[in-house]
Amino acid sequence: YWRDWSSDECSSDLRCHRSMIADALAARGVPVWHIMSAAKANPHQITSFAREDGLRVTYPPPEDKGKIS
């Protein structure tokens, strides 16, 4: 049964590893649920800024990176 279930926890806001792992699994058709409480779980939605190309998921660089102020 250990192959059927997994859990990951993260406290980062953006680009956290939990979301990246969930995106990669979802892109491969694996159901992912975010456990919110003992009574509630939400299905994963691919991160809004993620780009899917088949089984590959990529993320554009943050918009403020690389800009010269």
User: Three-state secondary structure along the chain?
Assistant: CCCCCCCCCCCCCCCCHHHHHHHHHHHCCCCCEEECCCCCEEECCCCCCCEEECCEEECCCCCCCCCCC
More confident residue, 39 or 14: 39
How high is the pLDDT of residue 1?
A: 45
Judged against a pLDDT cut of 70, whether residue 27 lies above it is answered with yes
How high is the pLDDT of residue 2?
A: 47
How high is the pLDDT of residue 29?
A: 93
Q: Cβ distance 7 to 18 under 8 Å? A: no
Entry pTM: 0.70
How high is the pLDDT of residue 69?
A: 52
In whole angstroms, give the CA distance from residue 6 to residue 56. 21
How high is the pLDDT of residue 63?
A: 72
Q: What is the mean pLDDT of residues 3-21?
A: 69
